Structure 1
């Protein structure tokens, strides 16, 4: 299967030229004219590399680069008309692997794409395959670091909040009774009320608006995962 490159660029001429050169080299290319469309691609069919413009309508390339870096080590090449040193430094500090200033030669871009793939693919394992990474729709959990992200934003959570999200995330769409959750999160020696479960769920919902923690009336809770 050919490597998949996501091209986020709102200039149609650059889209056509860059995509033509990339496809000629055998790469699969998906073209998007906004970072918002790029994020949709990331969630549904994440590419193996991004070629990313900075000046975009809506979310700019810097913010998009930062969001991708929160979730993956996928290679990112930034292309931009901004040629000041501070712009290049910012792009690299936010997670860009390379920075190419417009106007540029398409052949130079191809050379950088090949070099970056050669350097990163053997050593950078996609986090989708990492054993410590759990992703359920917009919820992302790094087990080793005990870090929680939702909709691209990192949240500080308590130990119990983390344990609850990890348990429900490892069992999406499964309904747990309050008694089960008490036993698994608080332990067999807990003698308090099962209201502790309700209070914990309420705190998570308040902290992470829109998280799909569903109440199963008269029974308990589950984390909904949209069907593929």
Structure 2
């Protein structure tokens, strides 16, 4: 697949180096020098991945990541001259999937790009029809094409929203701790707090009214099947 990667970086030298390496790997590349231009691209031709500098003129990279993450789980790699732990935590909690400190090796960046695409690659459509559909109460999940329906109406969900719903639906009535949800949905290399779990559950409840997604106080969450 010819993935489209957008690079937001105001340093022309870094723009040229990163763009050259990405194109050599076969990616389609869009390069911008401001977050505002990035938002314009997001509306007109949204990329499959963002590589975003933090220190930008106008809107900074943190605010840009937060804006994109409110709408999508598209992979985001943050690059920054800031190497303090608090900066990394902030960047990842605001929506970044990876954080790379300048100066960095272009080859290391390429390795991280490939790793993220491998993680977010859609599942292959090789399941049998019987194993492809899950129903819980009014919730229906088609696994192969990653579609979600509630009371017969299709719901628009992000990558992580789908992954969390699928995990709950395949383990109905089981309570998951926040720590386990982080591991199962975000992966064992996630670097951030478990507030990301609460935020994702909040988004699901807002999108899918009356979904039986229950809070297990002091522990985590579960999807309840009242017919079970």
TM range (shorter): 0.5 to 0.7
**RMSD between superposed Cα atoms in Å:** 2.5
- Distance in 2 (CA, whole Å) between partners of 1:54 and 1:8 is 9
CA offsets 1:7-55 (integer angstroms, 9 cap, x no match) = 0000000000000000000000000000000000000100000000000
Specify whether residues 144 and 98 from structure 1 end up closer, same or farther in structure 2 by C-alpha distance, changes over 3 A only: closer
- Distance in 2 (CA, whole Å) between partners of 1:13 and 1:143 is 39
Residue 77 of structure 1: aligned partner = 77
Which of 127, 132, 145 lines up with 2:205 in the alignment? Answer: 145
Specify whether residues 146 and 6 from structure 1 end up closer, same or farther in structure 2 by C-alpha distance, changes over 3 A only: same
Deviation at 1:146, TM superposition (A): 3.5
- Distance in 2 (CA, whole Å) between partners of 1:27 and 1:34 is 21
- Distance in 2 (CA, whole Å) between partners of 1:114 and 1:55 is 24
SS at match of 1:145: helix
- Distance in 1 (CA, whole Å) between partners of 2:122 and 2:100 is 23
Could you state the TM-score of these two structures normalised by the residue count of structure 1?
0.56
Which of 119, 128, 132 lines up with 2:155 in the alignment? Answer: 132
Q: Where does the alignment leave 5 or more consecutive residues of structure 2 unmatched?
A: 124-142, 149-153, 158-201, 208-228
SS at match of 2:72: coil
Residue 29 of structure 1: aligned partner = 29
Deviation at 1:120, TM superposition (A): 1.4
Could you state the TM-score of these two structures normalised by the residue count of structure 2?
0.56
Alignment of 1:24-63 (within 5 A): 24-63=24-63
- Distance in 1 (CA, whole Å) between partners of 2:59 and 2:46 is 18
Aligned residues of 1:62 and 1:91 also touching (Cα < 8 A): yes
Matched residue count = 138
- Distance in 2 (CA, whole Å) between partners of 1:80 and 1:143 is 29
CA offsets 1:167-226 (integer angstroms, 9 cap, x no match) = xxxxxxxxxxxxxxxxxxxxxxxxxxxxxxxxxxxxxxxxxxxxxxxxxxxxxxxxxxxx
Q: Where does the alignment leave 5 or more consecutive residues of structure 1 unmatched?
A: 135-141, 148-228
Give structure 1 regions of 4+ aligned residues with deviation exceeding 4 angstroms. Answer: none
